Structure 1
């Protein structure tokens, strides 16, 4: 699958993975996973975009460990309180 065929969500996932992968060496990742460094390199070059398209199909997103994500209801509540705060300031 060509990069220009990816959805925005799949592209975002692939970009995050590539960004984080650029911060380390393939050999370190390979040792952690238990494969050769060439396998990691080949996966990134040949399969990462397809894998991210598959994640998108499954409606999954990639995020950094330890990142606290809000649920939709929490986000809606924050928007409501922000809107009320803006209206209160405007009075």
Structure 2
């Protein structure tokens, strides 16, 4: 009985270690996915800024990024309005246009 209890304890220990390693691997892969998603977004923004600057010669990259930020701001406000049940939302305004 004593030997069986020891073996059972070792088996449980191995299972806990395997679960922990699996969770660690899962979180690592999730982090990689988020990093790749952000990189793809940045690549798309860069391409958009370059394309816009070429098609509208007198604009700068800052002009385009300001426009993107304002668009994202309004999209966020619209999304909050569409999904929120509250009648007032206070959002700090940090953008200086």
Same fold (TM over 0.5): no
In the superposition, the TM-score normalised over structure 2's length comes to 0.25
The structure that has the greater radius of gyration is 2
In the superposition, the TM-score normalised over structure 1's length comes to 0.26
